[in-house]
A and B are shown apart, each in its own frame.
Chain A
């Protein structure tokens, strides 16, 4: 396994970056964010012309049969652009869930970009608590209940609902999707409610595993967010003058940026490792590190931009909001560190209740 990028991966990156630079630079994302955040025309281009929608789908279903490594590169670029397209929610999370069921008709539609799907799971759920935020139950082939904080549901044609270890498909028209005001303006969340909605059983769903592979790839998006924040801040401090010098010539600023760069360098290695092997350890490591690095990069960017960073007109806040909301998505850094206690054999202290009486006095 290599942690470097292949030539094919760099070509894919260049293609995605080119389309984003052309069609939705950060200023354009900002302009639409309060009216109609998702840019579905852009999504059609990315899905159809560059073929990102079917990256993870095997060729037998009409996809590209690529690996998580390529999907990671696309996510780095989408993170750099806080691009308002449902790649992560449809082409990663929902697709991963569908792949285990082998539902050829749905996969075919997704691969072509004709259909967009969403996995109806709370973004606050994690591989360790996959059911958090969901109260859906099945009765006579129909689903009832609600799921909070679902991402990408408002632009999905089909909703994929995991219930009791099985995956069900519900047409979007048969559910109530209510977008709520969200911290992340470019990937808002919605409450999805079902009231005896007709549902089609697709097959088994190991939700924890789906969320784990999603969490591993989310680290690549977080890397992209952090990279944009670092690059944009570097450009700004080279240009902005105070005390008759570029502010980037002050050591107080330079040392912060050197430290941030080092955090980002390590986030890149962590993201590549998670996209490469997807094991429980590398995913937990990548999430525990990259989620924090993205938030820190956005916070440093805001501080080092001074007053302009606090204004609505500068797109920086889109990155801060994406980073902070995504820190919670699919497990907080703390959740992932806690998981490492057993994954890496660094066991927690015994609770006081487990310690026999006389020993307890000595603690």
Chain B
């Protein structure tokens, strides 16, 4: 299949469906295989190269678009995992409403006692006939209050070493026993939630992958997460440096020599980081994904933090736009006031793998350095100190 075939399908879709009816149009687009063309036929795709998606996006630019903010976890993490490990029935049941946005997804991974060391998680799932009974607490759950479904990792066998005793589920967020509480952040608002699971009954049909194979399934999710977070700005002077440059240019009276030196250094760092992102995307398109990907999020976190800190000094900003405790509907690292940007950026080196964990990953998987001696590898999970 080539570009012309794709265009033909796009024309057929547009001929038969009115983009003014948003949901109907998105459903029809999914059924035409024009949702994600690299997915299999019948599941929103055509089973063709991912490159051809660009053609679809270009041709359908004027039609209803997905809400990539609230759908982010579904599209970026749940979908590839369901595709890789789901049964035919699960794929047919979940992927279409996930893609159209009719059903929102969240991620139940981290726990109060399991952050960087996710594999030590303690939320228990115990089999009861055709069902599983889940008890535990999850945390840092973005969008749990919107979500219909969640991807969930649980402990099903406490008697084996931690990596081996986990099982992955799709969790029904409307099931009795699921309680979502907003978790207020240093910015004042609540992007995240705590999710309490008390006697939640999940049918075995909602298990993703084999019993005990949850860690392998979770790796697929996490690999997709880091790619999703690390995207660098495409435009020179874009991203977090944008608002700083605007202030610098519009307010000559705020400029100092010290800030000038620091801003120029950060401008250079932002630009070489952007160029690496451009190079990385070229490698992906050429079909040679390079290890550079794991580094993008590290650079992105450091730059965001330094630039947003400098921005407050430059503006001599002592105010703050809004401390109200409320749910945030959208997430924009570069939006709102300088104070918000500074505080929110602190999360960039923690969420989706801390910078320290990313340095471990780079040093071990890219540079081939030996791992630290491990005391937890061969010990049953129940005997680990906590």
**Contact status B369-A348, CB under 8 Å:** no
Instruction: Give B344-359 interface residues, CB cut-off 8 Å to A.
Output: 356, 358-359
| Per-position binary interface string of chain A over residues 234-252, scored 1 when its CB falls under 8 Å from any chain B CB and 0 otherwise | 1001100000011011110
The listed residue (B256, B278, B368, B369) touching A349 by CB distance below 8 A is: B256
> Is A173 an interface position by the 8 A CB rule?
no
Residues of A within 8 A of B268 (CB): 285, 288-289, 337, 340
Residue-wise interface mask of B (294-333) relative to A, using a CB-CB cutoff of 8 A (1 in contact, 0 not): 0100110000000000000000000000000000000000
* Interface status of B265 (Cβ within 8 A of chain A): yes
CA distance A238 to B282 in the complex (A): 32
Q: Is the CB of A249 within 8 A of B264?
A: no
Chain B: interface residue total (CB-CB under 8 A): 45
Between A234, A238, A255, A338, the greatest number of chain B beta carbons within 10 A of the residue's beta carbon is seen for A255
In the complex, whether B15 has a CB less than 8 A from a CB of chain A is: no
B359 with A259: CB separation less than 8 A:
yes
Q: Which residues of B sit under 8 angstroms from A350, Cβ to Cβ?
A: 252, 255
Which residue from A238, A251, A268 sits with its C-beta under 8 Å from B368?
A238
Residues of B within 8 A of A344 (CB): 237, 267
Asked if A261 is an interface residue, CB under 8 A from chain B, the answer is yes
A265-B370 Cα distance, complex, nearest whole Å: 21
Among A237, A340, A349, A350, max chain B CB count under 10 A is at: A349
Q: What 1/0 mask marks residues of chain A from 143 to 158 whose CB sits below 8 Å from any chain B CB?
A: 0000000000000000
Q: Which of A267, A288, A346 contacts B248 (CB 8 A)?
A: A346
Q: Is the CB of A340 within 8 A of B282?
A: no
Q: Counting CB contacts under 8 A, is B204 at the interface?
A: no
Does B279 lie within 8 Å of A257, measured CB to CB? no
> For the side of the interface on A, what is the size category?
35 or more
Q: Give the contacting residue for A265; candidates B295, B360, B373; CB below 8 A.
A: B295
Interface residue? A258 (CB, 8 A): yes
Within 8 A of B (CB), among A291-318: none
The total number of A-B Cβ pairs within 8 Å is 131
In contact, B368 and A234 (Cβ under 8 angstroms): yes
Most buried by A among B252, B261, B272, B359: B272
A249 and B371 contact, CB distance less than 8 A: yes
B278 to A269, Cβ gap below 8 A? yes
- A341-B264 contact in complex given A265-B295, A348-B255, C-beta closer than 8 Å: yes
A334, closest chain B residue (CB): B261
Residues of A within 8 A of B369 (CB): 234, 237-238, 246, 248-249, 253-254, 257
The CA-CA distance from A349 to B249 in the complex, in Å, is 10
Given contacts A4-B283, A255-B356, A346-B264, contact A266 B373 (CB under 8 A): no
A60 CB to nearest B CB, Å: 33
Would you call B269 and A289 a contact (CB within 8 A)? Answer: yes
Contact indicator B299/A262 (Cβ below 8 Å): yes
Query: Does the CB pair A267–B295 fall under 8 Å?
Result: no
Chain B residues near A347 (CB, 8 Å)?
248-249, 252, 255
Query: Is A345 an interface residue, CB under 8 A from the partner?
Result: yes
CB-CB under 8 A from A248, the residues of chain B are 363, 369-370
A234, A254, A347, most chain B CB atoms within 10 A? A254
Bound-state Cα–Cα, A3 to B366, Å: 21
Is B4 on the interface with A (CB-CB < 8 A)? no
B367 beta carbon closer than 8 Å to chain A: yes
- Residue in chain B with minimal CB distance to A337: B264
Question: B257 contacts which chain A residues (CB < 8 A)?
Answer: 348-349
A238 B276 Cβ-Cβ under 8 A = no
Using A234-B367, A266-B276, A337-B268 as known contacts, say yes or no to A245 and B373 having CB atoms under 8 A apart.
yes
Question: Does A270 lie at the interface of the complex (its beta carbon under 8 Å from any beta carbon of B)?
Answer: yes
Closest to A237 in B: B369
B363 touches A255 (CB 8 A): yes
Cβ contact within 8 Å between B272 and A266: yes
Write out the residue numbers on chain A whose beta carbons fall within 8 Å of the beta carbon of B126. Answer: none
Residues of A within 8 A of B31 (CB): none
Contacts of B372 in A (CB 8 A): 249-251
Residue of A nearest to B361 (CB): A258
Q: Does B245 contact A (CB under 8 A)?
A: yes
With a cutoff of 8 Å between Cβ atoms, the chain A residues found around residue B359 in the complex are: 251, 254-255, 258-259
Per-residue 0/1 for B222-251: is the Cβ within 8 Å of any A Cβ (1 yes, 0 no)? 000000000000000100000001001100
Residues of A within 8 A of B286 (CB): 4
Choose one: A257, A268, A346; the contact of B363 (CB below 8 Å).
A257
Contacts of A234 in B (CB 8 A): 367-369
Determine how close the nearest CB of chain A comes to the CB of B107; give it in whole angstroms. 26
Q: Is the beta-carbon distance between A270 and B248 smaller than 8 angstroms?
A: no
Judged by a CB distance under 8 angstroms, whether B208 is at the interface is no
> Are B363 and A267 within 8 A (Cβ)?
no
Given contacts A249-B369, A346-B248, A348-B255, 7 further A-B contacts (CB under 8 A): A4-B279, A258-B362, A261-B366, A265-B295, A266-B272, A273-B275, A349-B257
B interface residues with partner A (beta carbon < 8 Å): 237, 245, 248-249, 252, 255-257, 260-261, 263-265, 267-269, 271-273, 275-276, 278-279, 282-283, 286, 292, 295, 298-299, 356, 358-360, 362-364, 366-373
- 3 tightest CB-CB pairs across the interface, nearest first? A254-B363, A349-B255, A269-B275
Q: List 6 A-B contacts (CB under 8 A).
A: A261-B367, A266-B269, A266-B272, A266-B299, A268-B276, A350-B255
